[in-house]
Structure 1
Amino acid sequence: MSAQLHIDNLCAWYGAAQVLHGVHLRIDDGEAVALVGRNGSGRSTLAKAIMGLVRCAGDMRYRDVQLVGLRAHRIARLGIGYVPETRDAFPALTVRENLLLGERKGTRFTLRDAYRLFPVLEERSSVKAGALSGGEQQMLALARTLTGDPSLVVIDEPGEGLAPQVLAQVAACLAMLRERGVAMLLIEERLTIARALDARVAVMGQGVIRFDGAIASLVRNEAVMREWLSVG
């Protein structure tokens, strides 16, 4: 299986502060990878580096195109979607207007798909995004990204603050994406959605990947669990 995203010795900085210290990671076509770790481990910084939002150096290729040095809009046009932890819906626009902004011609994930998967978005299609609940905004952010027809989606903490029922809807959406051949990098503090997707797991600690393998192998690795993950 070919690598869709290949990262080798990636470093990243906020100003003079270095956060990533030589990250190695690959995501194959159609593969789901869950990136876990404690807060401050560098997970969100890696997501921003992939999208060209922080200063970085190293080798980072998407379908053999070098991403380091590219602007965010060019990276998005290559087929990488990004759902940030902040969700970033346009608050003054309606739900429908937000979805149409992200839509690309010939997309595999249409406005109709968004409404079928998240019926509440259709019910509230004329409501401004700023008036939505946190769970509704998360669904909107995910659906808007998907209407751009990405082949790889980077999703930062999709389950943060969501009720179990909404979390199940988000997990169902991501499972559908896997069935459609969309690869994903899923940033989670826990392994809730990763387990549902049978995702490969990469553990980040202090800006470095400390483990990369199956969930079953991770839970048997007491040293990694104790040193780099919050367990209790």
Structure 2
Amino acid sequence: MSAQLRIEDLRAWYGAAQVLHGVHLCIDEGEAVALAGRNGSGRSTLAKAIMGLVRCAGDMRYRDVPLIGLRPHRIARLGLGYVPETRDVFPALTVRENLLLGERKGTRFTPRDAYRLFPALEERASVKAGALSGGEQQMLALARTLTGDPSLVVIDEPGEGLAPQVLAQVAACLAMLRERGVAMLLIEERLSIARTLDARVAVMGHGAIQFDGPFASLARDEQVMREWLSVG
């Protein structure tokens, strides 16, 4: 079976500064991959490169369609969704309007699904997104992306700054996606959600993948843990 997303020798820049130095990564259909690493390792840049938001070179294909050089809206139409760390909801639109804006006909994930998973969104459906709490905005950003019916979703730090109850709701949403066959690249520093999803783990450092394998293998690899993940 060919990979749903295949990345080979990917390099990326912000202006003259090179951030990615030859990334190799594959994600199969329906697979969850957790991308770990310290701040500044290049994880968010990789997410942006996949979505066509930074200048990059190399080979990157989604279901054998080359991605490099495509505009972000073209990449999204291929079936890739993106939930950035900054959430990027439309603050002047209501919760309901944000969800309707992202919805595609025939989607596997409807606004009704969003309300079922995140009751707070239904309660605040008429509230402008800019007035939501950080946790509510994270729920909305995730739900809005999913109403676009992606087959693979890139999620950057979904648990950042969330209360435990909200984090549990986000984790339940991601588990539901796995059950529905949606693949994901999950950028997560603490790997708490990754454990519940039984995700494969890739570790980034210095703009490249330094480890790629099961979580159990990572936990036993003291060198990788010390060099690329531990702080202090």
- 1:28-67 equivalences under 5 Å are 28-67=28-67
Identity %: 89
Q: How does 1:84-103 map to 2 (within 5 A)?
A: 84-103=84-103
Q: Secondary structure at the match of 2:4?
A: strand
Shift, 1:231, TM fit = 4.9
Cα deviations by residue, 1:108-140 (Å, 9 ceiling, x for unpaired): 000110000101100000000000000000000
The alignment yields a C-alpha RMSD, in angstroms, of 0.7
Q: What residue is the counterpart of 1:175 in the other structure?
A: 175
Provide the rounded CA distance (Å) in 2 between the counterparts of 1:169 and 1:228.
29
User: What TM-score does the superposition give when structure 1 sets the normalisation length?
Assistant: 0.99
| Secondary structure class of the residue paired with 2:193 | helix
* Deviation at residue 230 of structure 1 after TM alignment: 2.3
Q: How many residues are paired up?
A: 232
In the alignment, the residues of structure 1 paired with residue 231 and residue 107 of structure 2 have an alpha-carbon distance, to the nearest angstrom, of 41
Post-superposition CA distance 1:135-187 (Å, at most 9, x none): 00000000000000000000000000000010000000000000000000000
CA distance in 1, matches of 2:206, 2:75: 26
Cα drift, residue 2 of structure 1: 2.8
Partner of 2:134: 134
2:80 and 2:159 map into 1 onto residues whose CA distance is 20
CA distance in 1, matches of 2:188, 2:114: 23
State the match for 2:223 in structure 1. Answer: 223
The residue that corresponds to 1:204 in the other structure is: 204
Give the Cα–Cα distance (whole angstroms) in 2 for the partners of residues 157 and 224 of structure 1.
Answer: 21
Q: Distance in 2 between matches of 1:230 and 1:70?
A: 36
Q: CA deviation at 1:30?
A: 0.1
Q: 2:4: which partner in 1?
A: 4
Q: 1:18 matched to which residue of 2?
A: 18
Tell me, in whole angstroms, the C-alpha distance in 1 between the residues paired with 2:2 and 2:222.
31
Q: What residue is the counterpart of 1:143 in the other structure?
A: 143
Q: Helix, strand or coil for the counterpart of 1:26?
A: strand
In the TM superposition, residue 190 of structure 1 has moved relative to its aligned partner by: 1.1
After TM superposition, give the deviation of residue 222 of structure 1 in Å. 0.2
2:117 matched to which residue of 1? 117
Please give the TM-score of this superposition, normalised by the length of structure 2: 0.99
Aligned amino acid, residue 24 of structure 2 = H
Whole-Å separation in 2 of the counterparts to 1:5 and 1:230: 29
User: d(CA) in 2 for partners of 1:143 and 1:211?
Assistant: 31
Q: Distance in 2 between matches of 1:83 and 1:2?
A: 25
- Residue of structure 1 in register with 2:193 after alignment: 193
Q: Which runs of 5+ in 1 are unaligned?
A: none
The Cα of 1:46 is off from its aligned counterpart by 0.1
CA contact (8 A) 1:225 1:231 kept: no
CA distance in 2, matches of 1:96, 1:226: 45
> Which amino acid in the other structure matches residue 33 of structure 1?
V
